[in-house]
Amino acid sequence: MVFNSLGSNYTFSFAMKALFGGGNKADQIKLEKYLADRYSGKVTLLYKGREAIALALKVLNFSKGSCVAINGYTCYAVYQPIAEAGLKTEYLDIAENSLHFSARELSAAVENNPSIKAVIIQNTLGYACDIEGISEVCRQRNVFLIEDLAHSVGAVYKNGREAGSFGDFVILSFSQDKIIDAVSGGALIVRNKKYMDVPLPVLSSVNLKHRLKDRFYPNFTYKIRKEYAIGLGKLQHKFLKALGWLSQPMGTSEKIVLRKLPAWQCRLALGCFMDLDKNIAHRKSIAQTYQNNLGPNIAKVYSADKIVLSTNLRFPILVKNREGLISYLKNYGIHISDIWYDAPVAPAKYTDKSSYNHDCPKAENVSREMLNLPTHINVSQKQAEGICYLINTWFR
């Protein structure tokens, strides 16, 4: 059984640490110090990546009606904090053969819309964006650069600098299925010296319901995955989902509140940073397997020659009859219906809740055909080769 999500990053030992592991102030301080050194800035740990974006916008304190530019192929969680801050969103379409806008799209947007005060880049699926060009436009036009590393902790830009070394602000997400996965979590790193002394609001505590759900999520999903083949896992999944006991990464009903990251999750996140190189090396070799073994009629334009520098969070391919391939693979125990991204502001069911209005035709085309192949630690080299074999057979 292979899943794109559903506790993709967890081992049995991780599940035990999540359920029973402790944490204290020292863990929080250690994680803060680690991030402060790694990203050269002032760190605030939060419960979600979207809270980190909200806090960055609070610190920047733009006047109402100001605009934040984002990738026009993104997650609702990037849009939400902008809207809730009372700011407008400018969607920048992706560049040719890329999952991200380039300096060209940003430059044109800033020219047309002087109310753009900040831009969020996101290195989608770990593939580095055109950071040098983008940061040059930001510098010339006095636009703040926010580097969102939700997909790309550990990625390297073309010029050899690590992701997170350009922005005025860096955003991290430690949420489920990300490169650093503590079930939930996030951080803001203020790198721009002028903003380091801005007083920060008091953070609230995460409520008991969320804390319990996060504690149990790795266990539940580990068990579901193990018992899926014999039918029990599917039943458990349905049952736990219906009861609302599975921690969910998305949701539009909850407004953003700035919350402290619980200490036990600080400890888990720090552990993930310690394993980061190993994790990325695994993802890289699985991505290489897909790149080398998938037939030439399968579009893999986004990965060609980019794998080496990427975190390869997921391996993107383009498939016209996507639903057909998803159900074919399901028959063989490969569950990859969870797609990043199936819409310009994803998931598709939330697009209408955003201000997106067909601003990004290229992203719309890509989102219709996008499919992600898993690269996480629970996919072996052999399984990746098997997935290639199945996909090639289906295409024939």
Ligand X SMILES: Cc1ncc(COP(=O)(O)O)c(C=O)c1O
Interface residues toward ligand X, by CB under 6 A: 48-50, 74-75, 77-78, 122, 148, 150-151, 173, 175, 186, 249
Minimum CB separation of residue 249 from ligand X in Å reads 5
Minimum CB separation of residue 7 from ligand X in Å reads 15
Beta strands in 140-185 (DSSP E): 144-148, 169-173
Closer to ligand X by Cβ: residue 249 or 344: 249
Residue 174's DSSP bridge partners are none
Closer to ligand X by Cβ: residue 151 or 259: 151
| Nearest residue relative to ligand X (C-beta) | 49
Minimum CB separation of residue 389 from ligand X in Å reads 30
Burial of 327 (0-12, 13-18, 19+ CB in 10 A): exposed
Determine phi and psi for 328, rounding to 5 degrees. -60, -50
Closer to ligand X by Cβ: residue 79 or 228: 79
Whose tokens are 């997921």? That residue is 314
3-class secondary structure, 361? helix
Burial of 303 (0-12, 13-18, 19+ CB in 10 A): buried
Q: What is the per-residue burial (b if ≥16 Cβ within 10 Å, else e) of 128-140?
A: bbbbeebbebbee
Minimum CB separation of residue 76 from ligand X in Å reads 8
Length of the chain (residues): 396
Closer to ligand X by Cβ: residue 35 or 294: 35
Closer to ligand X by Cβ: residue 174 or 228: 174
Minimum CB separation of residue 198 from ligand X in Å reads 22
338's CB contacts (< 8 A; 6+ apart) are: 4, 5, 372
Minimum CB separation of residue 350 from ligand X in Å reads 11
Residue 18, Ramachandran bin (φ over 0: left; ψ between -120 and 50: alpha; else beta) = alpha
Q: What is the residue-wise DSSP string for 59-116?
A: HHTPPTT-EEEEESSEEHHHHHHHHHTT-EEEEEPPPTTSSS--HHHHHHHHHH-TTE
Whose tokens are 């897909």? That residue is 290
Closer to ligand X by Cβ: residue 85 or 325: 85
Closer to ligand X by Cβ: residue 173 or 312: 173
Tokens at 78, concatenated: 């990037």
Closer to ligand X by Cβ: residue 172 or 387: 172
Q: How far apart are the first and last CA of the chain?
A: 23
Minimum CB separation of residue 392 from ligand X in Å reads 30
Minimum CB separation of residue 299 from ligand X in Å reads 22
How far apart, in whole angstroms, are the C-alpha atoms of residue 24 and residue 87? Answer: 37
